[in-house]
Structures are given as structure tokens and as C-alpha cells.
């Protein structure tokens, strides 16, 4: 080890390395008011901060792909209860995931087994 500063080689390979290091990285830009509104919406509905950021990013990307105004989307989502919101978020996340795995949710069967058993056919 030496105390000398590291010498940076400035050759043509730097541009190629930079290109391939960022090849699968897409830069996404959204207005800050939209980002704050989406994250604020999900945190107010009980999502943790990191979950709100992750879900909000996917919702912003999907709204941009579908050419939907983000604030209209939030107004629509405000009318849903927590179960409907979970269902919508699950569908959007599944749409944006790899097809080899999906998210799901459990639907509780409220049928009374005792009554069903006693019905004669």
C-alpha cells in the first residue's frame, strides 16, 4: 500500500464498462408531488414506509404505462376498503413480477360446516 493517489486510467474501455454496468438499469423520473402523494397515501393506509415506497414505485410505473393520471388513480383507490386495496395492489404487483412466482392472499371460508353437514339431499 502506498500513500500515492490512485491513478485512474482514462482510456476507451471506461465508456464501454460504464455502458455495460448500467445496461439493465432504467432511470425513472416522476414529479415529487406525485411521489409524495402516492407514498403518503399508502402510509396513511397502514403500509410501512419501505413497503409504501416499493408499492408506490410500481403504481407510478404502471400509471405511466397505462397513461393514467396518478391523482385520479389515488382518488379511485381512496374509495376502496383495506381488503379491496390489498387485492388491487396484489394484482398490480403480480402484473409487474416475473411470471414464475406470484403473490396471493387467503380468502377465509365462512361457510358453517355443521350446517352444511346436516342438510340432506
Q: For the segment 21-78, what is each residue's pLDDT rounded down to a tens digit?
A: 776 666 778 999 999 999 999 999 999 999 999 999 999 998 998 999 999 999 999 9
CA pair distance 95, 118, nearest whole angstrom: 43
* 26 domain-assigned: no
Domain boundaries, position 58:
39-95
CA pair distance 2, 4, nearest whole angstrom: 5
For 33, the 3-state DSSP assignment is: helix
Regarding pTM above 0.85, the answer is: no
CA pair distance 15, 18, nearest whole angstrom: 5
CA pair distance 16, 9, nearest whole angstrom: 13
* 89 domain-assigned: yes
The structural domain count of the chain equals: 1
Cell of 120: 340432506
Amino acid at each position: 500500500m502506498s500513500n500515492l493517489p490512485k491513478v485512474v486510467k482514462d482510456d476507451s474501455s471506461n465508456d464501454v464498462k460504464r455502458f455495460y454496468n448500467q445496461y439493465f438499469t432504467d432511470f425513472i423520473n416522476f414529479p415529487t408531488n406525485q411521489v409524495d402523494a402516492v407514498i403518503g397515501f399508502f402510509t396513511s393506509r397502514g403500509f410501512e414506509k419501505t413497503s409504501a415506497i416499493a408499492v408506490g414505485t410500481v403504481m407510478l410505473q404502471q400509471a405511466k404505462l397505462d397513461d393514467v393520471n396518478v391523482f385520479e388513480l389515488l382518488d379511485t383507490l381512496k374509495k376502496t376498503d383495506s381488503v379491496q386495496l390489498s387485492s388491487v395492489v396484489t394484482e398490480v404487483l403480480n402484473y409487474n413480477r416475473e411470471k414464475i412466482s406470484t403473490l396471493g392472499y387467503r380468502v377465509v371460508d365462512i361457510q358453517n360446516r355443521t350446517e352444511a353437514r346436516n342438510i340432506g339431499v
